[in-house]
A and B are shown apart, each in its own frame.
Chain A
């Protein structure tokens, strides 16, 4: 028996799979980013069906509202040529596709069998006035306080790591050296060079070179 919920679920599911596929096949990077937004939206819809309203809204607010916007900025500023990056994608696509097909077949075989569908744990349904947000808040500060704290530590690590990797000591404070200023000549002041806007991706990463050279 197919209820309205099932129909909505399959709609969102199909949409998210389609959007995810387009993220990796789209030629324009801005399009790819926008398809990612679509994928987030459809996932948020599925979470709604699972009665995780708070998480669904957070997903939209945080990922779509903040992360993806930042992401779009970066993509637009860098002007990446996706075609070049995806060189060889279609050449190897058949191999990957065959493997993917096999994987999907096996997953369907296992998960789609009648036995799997019938057993397994079930979530209890709640009444409409049940506050998911409140319950989440209660759990985070009681049962899940330990993971919650750990998550905070992970964020701290992220901050420390980001600073350690980007901050260049000395760049912030620039000093003037009058003697150098006096000695400078006109041809030292400006250097004109021409360079392409995007760099060609090197054919082989360095570690691989190291490996090849030895053979």
Chain B
């Protein structure tokens, strides 16, 4: 077997890197403001990555690069979904960014770099690669947020994101170094084994764990590490917000799985307690603060915080049910926020951002179909059956009940009830209020088609969630129990 063929589980990453380089160069030689060639190349790259990931899939868990890279079903599924999310994000945001002069070759390259960071994180089985993937992702995102240089809010958002992100990285690194001190290794499986055999120093481990959980909480946007979320979501151009709010959440989920579940399963009693505090605070602060918002992007930011709290409930419940439902929740969350932000961009036009609640008033009169899609998305976010949001919440709560976290479940239900208010308020605005402007909505055919599919999938998955749920459960099971 030649050296190259031993690398085949990482072919998707290698292909992506090669293609980014090609795109960076090709972009120099293609003229035109619309960047059609570059855009198509990027979409082709994503398609190629998907094909490679599917083609190189194999059963079981494969390690590569001296145990620094892992390929299993969970990583393949999450990668495929990340490609999909990035691809959808580009379709939604293309005309929005073109209208604002932000659709540049650099933007596309940075998006692909961010995707690469996501892939590295998803496939990492070593603290070093986890960290490098995180930095790769974060650095690309900081730059993407700052791309709109003449906007004060975007620059400010980028600055906050960068500084707080650096602080979180510091916390994470500090925790990792404590872990290294306690176990003498950075390999996730070796760490797990060292903890299992009692070789490692317990106090030092738990001490490091606190910092690691803090760093993770920042990435997820869990309270009290959430303060960056509203400002960045609000300040960044909507397309960038969509990029931050979607695929990276899959990476964050993988991050939590790799570090906490694979690396520190024996310490579960310690970290599940911490996650419970973060989860309750996130659901409370997220849902309650969202009510007071008049800017819909800011509202989505708080809703994200609340959703991440829910996701943490799934993770801390443990077991295939718990992790599977958390993965399901992450996937569904990504799907819903793609639709939500896509709707904002669809209603925006040159020089106008449809990002306040008032912009959604009377949408039903202006475009009944879009209003209906938004209704589906909002119902799903609120967890109203038969949309998939209900099933996602239900499966998480189910796992939590099975794990015996009854008080947590009660609080989760209470806070989602509070949360339902602000989602349904949008529905009320769309259907029962008079529109403030009667300007025709210019519906891009590609985004309109995509948002229709997006909304209908939210409904269809709610009626038939079984397949996706079992995919999630099986991937979690395969990547956790086989080693």
Contacts and interface: CB of A to CB of B under 8 A. Distances in A.
Interface of A: 107, 110-111, 113, 115-116, 119-122, 142-147, 150-151, 153-154, 156-158, 160-161, 163-165, 205-208, 210-211, 214-215
Interface in B124-158: 126, 128-129, 132-133, 135-136, 139-140, 142-143, 146-147, 149, 152-153, 156-157
8 contacts: A107-B207, A110-B206, A115-B201, A146-B129, A147-B68, A161-B139, A207-B235, A211-B230
B182 A120 contact: yes
A150 B292 contact: no
Given A146-B66, A160-B113, 4 more contacts: A116-B203, A143-B66, A161-B106, A165-B143
Nearest to B68: A146
A210 B200 CA distance: 49
A207 B201 contact: no
Give the interface SS of chain B, mostly helix, strand, loop or mixed: helix
A163 to B, nearest CB: 7
Nearest to A202: B152
Which of B143, B180, B184 has most chain A Cβ within 10 Å? B143
A185 B230 CA distance: 50
Contacts of A143: 66
Contacts of A154: 132, 135-136, 139
Contact of A157 (B65, B139, B160, B207): B139
Contacts of B293: 214
A207 B68 contact: no
A104 B351 CA distance: 51
Given A157-B139, A160-B110, A151 B182 contact: no
Given A113-B203, A207-B153, A214-B293, A121 B129 contact: no
B183 interface: yes
Given A115-B203, A207-B156, A147 B129 contact: yes
Contacts of A158: 139
Nearest to A163: B106
A122 B181 CA distance: 8
Interface residues of B, number: 55
B178 to A, nearest CB: 9
Contacts of A146: 64-66, 68-69, 129
Contacts of B226: none
B143 A206 contact: no
Contacts of B68: 144, 146-147
Nearest to A106: B207
Interface in B198-241: 200-201, 203-204, 206-207, 230-231, 234-235
A174 B109 CA distance: 28
B478 interface: no
B292 A207 contact: no
Given A153-B136, A165-B147, A207 B129 contact: no
Nearest to A115: B203
A121 B292 contact: no
Given A116-B203, A121-B181, A147-B132, A164 B231 contact: no
Interface string B5-38: 0000000000001000000100000000000000
B107 interface: yes
B294 interface: yes
A164 B110 contact: yes
Nearest to B194: A121
A205 B227 CA distance: 14
Nearest to A207: B231
Contact of A165 (B149, B180, B200, B204): B149
Given A121-B182, A210-B234, A157 B136 contact: yes
A153 B292 contact: no
Contacts of B135: 154
Interface string B171-209: 000000000111111000000000000001101101100
Contacts of B231: 207-208
B162 to A, nearest CB: 11
Contacts of B129: 146-147, 150
A160 B106 contact: yes
Contact of A120 (B110, B126, B181): B181
Contact of A214 (B109, B153, B160, B292): B292
Contacts of B184: 120-122
- Among A111, A116, A121, A163, the most chain B Cβ lie within 10 Å of the Cβ of A121
Contacts of B332: none
A110 B149 CA distance: 46
Given A120-B201, A147-B129, A206-B153, A164 B106 contact: yes
Nearest to A122: B184
A206 B160 CA distance: 12
A211 B294 CA distance: 9
A207 B65 contact: no
A163 B223 CA distance: 35
Nearest to B133: A150
B204 A116 contact: yes
B104 interface: yes
Contacts of B106: 160-161, 163-164
B231 to A, nearest CB: 4
A206 B152 contact: yes
A151 B139 contact: no
A215 B230 CA distance: 15
A121 B235 CA distance: 45
A164 B140 CA distance: 11
B143 A160 contact: yes
A147 B125 CA distance: 12
Contacts of A119: 200-201, 204
A156 B113 CA distance: 9
A201 to B, nearest CB: 13
A207 B157 contact: yes
A157 B133 CA distance: 12
Given A160-B110, A214-B292, A150 B182 contact: no
Contacts of B104: 164
Given A150-B136, A154-B135, A165-B143, A110 B182 contact: no
A172 to B, nearest CB: 15
